Amino acid sequence: MPQDPNSGRRQFLNYILGGGSLTFLASIFYPVLKFLTPPAANDAAVTAVDAGKSDDFPNDSGKIIKFGSKPALVIRDKAGEFKAFIAVCSHLDCTVQYLAKDRVIWCACHNGKYDLNGINISGPPPRPLLPLKVNIQQGTIFISKEA
List of residues contacting ligand FES (CB under 6 A): 89, 91-94, 107, 109-110, 112, 123-125
Q: Which is nearer to ligand FES, 93 or 146 (CB)?
A: 93
Q: Name which of ligand FES, another protein, none residue 87 binds, using a CB cut-off of 5 to 8 Å depending on partner kind.
A: another protein
Contact region with another protein (CB under 8 A), list: 23-31, 77-85, 117-125, 129-137: 117-125
Query: Residue 49, interface with another protein (CB under 8 A)?
Result: no
DSSP symbol at 127:
S
DSSP symbol at 43:
G
Spatial separation of the C-alpha atoms in residues 72 and 84, rounded to whole Å: 7
Min CB(54)–another protein separation in Å? 20
Query: Residue 28, interface with another protein (CB under 8 A)?
Result: no
Best CA proximity match to 114, nearest among 54, 136, 102, 11:
102
Q: Name which of ligand FES, another protein, none residue 9 binds, using a CB cut-off of 5 to 8 Å depending on partner kind.
A: none
Spatial separation of the C-alpha atoms in residues 13 and 21, rounded to whole Å: 12
3-state DSSP percent of the chain in helix, strand and coil, to 5:
25, 35, 40
Question: 78 near 59, Cβ under 8 Å?
Answer: yes
- Contacting positions for another protein (CB under 8 A): 36-38, 41, 43, 64-66, 69-71, 73, 87, 89, 91-97, 107-111, 120, 124-126
